[in-house]
Structure 1
Amino acid sequence: MDKDSRQKTAFVTHKGLFEFNVMPFGLTNAPATFQRLMDIVLAGLKWQCCLVYIDDVVIFSPTFVQHMTDLEKVFQALQAANLTLKAAKCQFCRREMRYLRHIITQNGIKPDPDLIKSVTNFPQPQKIKDVQSFLVLTGYYCRFIKDCSKIVEPLLQQLRNSQQVNHQLKWSKECTNAFETLKKRLTNVPIIFYLFLNLMSFF
């Protein structure tokens, strides 16, 4: 960390006052700062052979031989920035992997089964907060569900009504239908295929 900024991270313990020399996670601006760093470090490689979200880096290649070359490029870029990797958290040469709550395959993208399970096991909301939690959970995969915005409308209306003073959850038949439909749709979502513009024909 910049010398002048270290005092802003100070904390007191029974052994005295301590300051961070490197940026810790937990600071308000830490994620954005680290993302900016990674964008700079991998600037010449992003969208060519890798993508990065904070400390999650995914490297993609059309062939195994090319993948070895791409791995080396990313390693060299990280090494040049004095960044290190923890081997236990790395996965190499995978045909399928979890990334940001999605399953990434060579054919396309699909939802993480573990999160889908959380949706299917979600109990019927009893409070406004329950509705909010359910919408956050399902909203993450809304792009996989056709007409998602229409289906979810009765639940969104509950949130709008909650802005009124002393509003209580008024669960209706429409809410139940929306709740169950979202669950059902998410258990049968299609895989989203990649778009290859060089294979497309435009008329």
Structure 2
Amino acid sequence: MAEWPLPRYIKEFRGFLGLTRYYRRFVANYGSIAGPLTRLTKNHGFDWTEEATRAFEALKKAMTTLPILTLPDFNLPFDIETDASGMGLKAVLSQNGSPSCISVRYLQH
């Protein structure tokens, strides 16, 4: 997540925003942070601005510093959630409903 590059196309951007929306309940003030990015999905064009860059970086930071990420307890079972598309791969390792690790790999074309 921390290394996710700036999106060049709307499809790349929607993949990033979709991932963050999935975990929005864990991010304080998600709506305020993601607001400039959410507005980009409502336009008919993909006009990336400096405000969008600041929001993108702030959201990446918020997603990677979530206080709910827990250390794994190897005495308990893990839940693994994966997702893949033509744009990238995502995996989440969880225990008792709390993510321990979130991994996202953006595929270069």
- TM-score, normalized by the shorter chain, greater than 0.5: yes
- Which has the higher relative contact order, 1 or 2, with Cα contacts under 8 A spaced 6 or more apart? 2
Q: How many angstroms does 1:184 deviate by? A: 0.7
Identity between Structure 1 and Structure 2 (%): 40
1:152 counterpart = 2:29: no
Q: Which amino acid aligns with 2:31?
A: S
Q: Match for residue 64 of structure 2?
A: 187
Once residues 47 and 40 of structure 2 are traced to their aligned partners in structure 1, the CA distance between those partners, rounded to angstroms, is 7
Higher Cα radius of gyration:
1
Once residues 191 and 182 of structure 1 are traced to their aligned partners in structure 2, the CA distance between those partners, rounded to angstroms, is 16
The two structures have a TM-score, normalised by structure 1, of 0.32
Structure number having the greater helix percentage? 1
Once residues 121 and 140 of structure 1 are traced to their aligned partners in structure 2, the CA distance between those partners, rounded to angstroms, is 19
Structure number having the greater strand percentage? 2
Aligned residues: 70
The two structures have a TM-score, normalised by structure 2, of 0.58
Once residues 188 and 158 of structure 1 are traced to their aligned partners in structure 2, the CA distance between those partners, rounded to angstroms, is 24
1:171 counterpart = 2:53: no
Structure 2 residue runs of 5 or longer lacking an equivalent are: 70-95, 97-109
RMSD of the alignment, in Å?
Answer: 1.8
Runs of 4+ in structure 1 over 4 Å off: none
